Amino acid sequence: MIGVAILGATGSIGRNTLDVLERHPDIYRVVSLAARSDARRLAELCLRHRPEVAAMEQPDAAAELERRLREAGSAVRVTSGPGSIEALARDGAADVVMAAISGAAGLRSTLAAAASGKRLLLANKESVVMAGDLLLAAVRAGNATLIPIDSEHNAIFQCLPTGARIGERPAGVRRLLLTASGGPFLEWTAAAMAAATPEQACAHPRWSMGRKISVDSATLMNKGLELIEATVLFGMEPRDVTVVVHPQSVVHSLVEFVDGSTLAQLSAPDMRTPIAHGLAWPGRVSAGVEFLDLAKVGALEFRAPDRARFPCLALAEAAARAGGAACAWLNAADEVAVQAFLDKQLNFEDIPRVIEGVMHDAPGGSLSDLDEVFAADGAARLRARAELGVCRDRVRSSLA
């Protein structure tokens, strides 16, 4: 039996992972589940999937989890505190670790899994954006296997030549093409987008995702972060990674080779496909997904992104060229701006303005350790909060 730890079990990736695992009880067993704060949902998952241990970052949430489990007669062991999730990532009972805690919060546990030599199923793109060099070093030092789970990077991984290594440019590859659905505002005018609500931004036409990543999809920042991730995971220069809008979300990305060939990975837009691929690689297992019917799909459309309406993409491309600290600053600025928008403290059109204001001060250069990574993250968050104030002042002055 293959032991699986799921970090970020209550999110969409975590729940989809559990769905795939439940289909193959003869192959996999859930050894641990972790979440940051949703005790009610984690308790439900523990009762259904019966892990050995569950961890929560917030002690109050862990206490609620333990109470719910004991009332239900469950003996699942509960741990808490900042280091508890890292401990699950290192636990010898776990052969595979699904790293699905979103944002900067997932960095330490992702690095812990890599350093411990696990099969690391990477769904936390921020770990690569903030600390790509450190993550690759941990993978090499721990002799870990890293398999990207983002649908775009998993598609590229599947299309690469045999023997390709994470972190190194694959032989014969000319360019990577990342496909973007275009999000909910693909056909909206700039004026309409300016007044968009969080509910509208989170209403993705193709994928069911968390609120933060849904907003990133609406701004195209998600694709910008994925561009940075692609340069790190596949050893590519930013100029060799191209974003193309593909509204049907059937072609998940493409690899272009020097001989003129282009390979693509196609499937229905369902995250269980890349999850099942990562769990079973180099084999295959059923994911429980709908199989692709190309005749039903009919046409596959591709177009260049509209950079005027989606300026976040250019901001990410600039950070990718600068590398290191600039990428950590970009990620932090985006997290602050998106959360302010979700809290209805910032207009949609001001998300890229906040990020651009922060990036004016962003340093370049590499980050040598986690202390430097979190120092950069903290500095960028302070700068982003100052930019939030500037945006609010601008709104007030326009209404005066």
Written as tens digits, the pLDDT of the chain (400 aa) is 999 999 999 999 999 999 999 999 999 999 999 998 899 999 999 999 999 999 998 899 999 999 999 999 999 999 998 799 999 999 999 999 999 998 888 999 999 999 999 999 999 988 999 999 999 999 999 999 999 999 999 999 999 999 999 999 999 999 999 999 999 999 999 999 999 999 999 988 777 778 998 999 999 999 999 999 999 999 999 999 999 999 999 999 999 999 999 999 999 999 999 999 999 999 999 999 999 999 999 999 999 999 999 999 999 999 999 999 999 999 999 999 999 999 999 999 999 999 999 999 899 888 999 999 999 999 999 999 999 988 876 655 443 3
Considering the domain architecture, whether residues 144 and 257 belong to the same structural domain is answered as: no
Non-local (6+) Cβ contacts of 355 within 8 A are 221, 312, 315, 330, 333, 334, 337, 384
Q: Quick one: pLDDT at residue 400? A: 38
Decide if 317 is inside a domain: no
Considering the domain architecture, whether residues 211 and 128 belong to the same structural domain is answered as: no
Number of domains making up the chain: 3
Considering the domain architecture, whether residues 196 and 279 belong to the same structural domain is answered as: yes
Considering the domain architecture, whether residues 292 and 329 belong to the same structural domain is answered as: no
The tens digit of pLDDT for each residue in 149-196 reads 999 999 999 999 999 999 999 999 999 999 999 999 999 999 999 999
The tens digit of pLDDT for each residue in 247-294 reads 999 999 999 999 999 999 999 999 999 999 999 999 999 999 999 999
Decide if 171 is inside a domain: yes
Decide if 120 is inside a domain: yes
Q: Quick one: pLDDT at residue 209? A: 77
β-sheet with 262-266: strand ranges across = 241-245, 173-180, 251-257, 262-266
Whichever domain contains 391, its CATH number is 1.10.1740.10
Parent domain of 59: 2-149
Decide if 287 is inside a domain: yes
Considering the domain architecture, whether residues 134 and 266 belong to the same structural domain is answered as: no
Considering the domain architecture, whether residues 234 and 342 belong to the same structural domain is answered as: no
Q: Quick one: pLDDT at residue 265? A: 98
What tokens were used for 233?
Answer: 């995971």
Considering the domain architecture, whether residues 187 and 80 belong to the same structural domain is answered as: no
Considering the domain architecture, whether residues 144 and 155 belong to the same structural domain is answered as: no
Considering the domain architecture, whether residues 25 and 134 belong to the same structural domain is answered as: yes
Considering the domain architecture, whether residues 98 and 198 belong to the same structural domain is answered as: no
Decide if 318 is inside a domain: no
Q: Quick one: pLDDT at residue 395? A: 56
Decide if 191 is inside a domain: yes
Q: Quick one: pLDDT at residue 393? A: 67
Q: Quick one: pLDDT at residue 260? A: 98
Decide if 270 is inside a domain: yes
| Domain edge (last residue) among 130, 149, 168 | 149
Decide if 394 is inside a domain: yes
Considering the domain architecture, whether residues 10 and 29 belong to the same structural domain is answered as: yes
Whichever domain contains 57, its CATH number is 3.40.50.720
Compute the half-sphere exposure of residue 17: CA atoms within 13 Å on the CB side of its CA.
Answer: 34
| Domain edge (last residue) among 312, 338, 366 | 312
Non-local (6+) Cβ contacts of 20 within 8 A are 272, 275, 276, 279, 285, 287, 288
| Domain edge (last residue) among 149, 184, 218 | 149
Backbone φ/ψ region at 318: left (φ over 0), alpha (ψ -120 to 50), beta? alpha
Considering the domain architecture, whether residues 276 and 299 belong to the same structural domain is answered as: yes
